[in-house]
């Protein structure tokens, strides 16, 4: 075996900016574990990140397809044992174990993480990101809007000034939120890069079921408190293949939601305005137990 042979890890992106960042991180993880590996194919225009061009893909090449959960050890073994010269990753890979530590992650996205590119958020504000399902989601039932009573609970418990941002003006939320939380401020729609950095600028954040918002909050160097709804894609009981619960990160506070798949029915939409569920806060021990219950390995 010629150990000088360059191994190729190619990212073939699927999805939007948030998904691309997770895929980039996954490729970076593989590159660190595979000897003499080159990472190619990544392209995140929002952060001006793009891989160098590469030549032909070697014949001994495999395609890794799937969604979020993979046997990293098997891939690394095949490449380091010279069974494979290249892999193409067509994946989502939204799991904590595939992410770099925060310092490294921020360095990898340094070209896009810039406080001056976002709005200034007052220290006594609670920045609340809204995500309304879009046609591009293709009816994805694990992305869902959250009930107004959930936001009211956090606003009342923190005593902070609520500032809403995200997909507001184009959603049925706008008028309902203004009536339900009349002292709230609403940021106008902005560019994705400005929105990302506005979230990262805030000290207190309420995230939506959005990988874009999740990343901005997680990567933030300013965030003191990040309120995370354990629902939809963010609930391991609903999506055991996904793990975006950053235990034991002390910035995060978690709120328990019932298992729900969003279909946009009349009853579901009405419940957003009139629902009164409590959404109890989960302690760190509860979150740890939830994550542990979804481990598939036999110990």
| Per-residue pLDDT, 299 | 46
CA 59 from centroid of its chain's CA atoms? 34
Alpha-carbon torsion, ordered 144, 149, 155, 156, to 10 deg: -160
Q: Over the stretch 48-97, which tens digit does the pLDDT of each residue have?
A: 999 988 778 888 999 988 888 888 999 999 999 999 999 999 999 999 99
What's the number of CA atoms in the CB half-sphere (13 Å) around residue 36?
12
What percent of the chain is modeled with pLDDT above 90? Answer: 74
CA 146 from centroid of its chain's CA atoms? 16
85 DSSP assignment: S
Q: For residue 104, give the H/E element and its range.
A: helix 102-108
* Reported pTM: 0.92
Please state whether beta strands 185-186 and 161-166 pair in parallel, antiparallel, or not at all (unpaired): parallel
CB atoms within 10 A of CB 130: 22
Euclidean distance between CA atoms 122 and 170, whole angstroms: 25
Q: Over the stretch 122-167, which tens digit does the pLDDT of each residue have?
A: 999 999 999 887 655 556 788 889 999 999 999 999 999 999 999 7
Angle between helices 192-201 and 211-219 (to 10 degrees): 40
Q: Which domains does the chain have, with CATH numbers?
A: 7-108 (no CATH), 115-293 (3.40.50)
- CA nearest to 62, candidates 12, 15, 2, 25: 12
Q: For residue 197, give the H/E element and its range.
A: helix 192-201
């Amino acid at each position: 075996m010629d150990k000088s042979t360059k191994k190729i890890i190619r990212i073939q992106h699927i999805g939007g900016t948030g998904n691309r960042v997770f895929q980039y991180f996954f490729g970076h993880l593989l590159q660190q574990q595979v000897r003499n590996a080159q990472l190619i194919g990544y392209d995140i225009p929002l952060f001006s990140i793009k891989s160098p061009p590469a030549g032909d893909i070697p014949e001994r090449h495999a395609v890794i397809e799937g969604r979020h959960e993979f046997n990293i050890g098997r891939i690394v073994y095949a490449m380091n044992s010279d069974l494979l010269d290249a892999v193409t990753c067509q994946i989502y890979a939204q799991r904590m174990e595939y992410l770099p530590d925060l310092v490294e992650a921020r360095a990898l996205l340094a070209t896009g993480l810039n406080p001056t590119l976002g709005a200034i958020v007052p220290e006594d504000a609670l920045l609340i990101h809204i995500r309304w399902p879009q046609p591009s989601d293709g009816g994805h039932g694990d992305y869902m809007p959250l009930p107004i009573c959930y936001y009211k609970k956090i606003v009342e418990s923190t005593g902070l000034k609520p500032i809403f941002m995200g997909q507001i003006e184009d959603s049925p939320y706008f008028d309902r939120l203004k009536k339900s939380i009349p002292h709230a401020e609403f940021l106008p729609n902005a560019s994705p890069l400005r929105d990302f950095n506005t979230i990262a600028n805030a000290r207190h954040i309420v995230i939506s079921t959005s990988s874009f918002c999740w990343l901005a909050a997680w990567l933030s160097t300013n965030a003191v408190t990040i309120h995370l709804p354990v629902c939809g894609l963010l609930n391991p009981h609903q999506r055991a293949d996904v793990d975006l619960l950053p235990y034991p990160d002390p910035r995060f506070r978690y709120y328990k939601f019932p298992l729900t798949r969003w279909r946009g029915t009349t009853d579901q939409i009405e419940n957003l305005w009139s629902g009164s569920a409590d959404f109890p806060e989960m302690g760190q021990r509860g979150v740890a137990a939830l994550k542990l219950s979804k481990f598939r390995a036999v110990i």
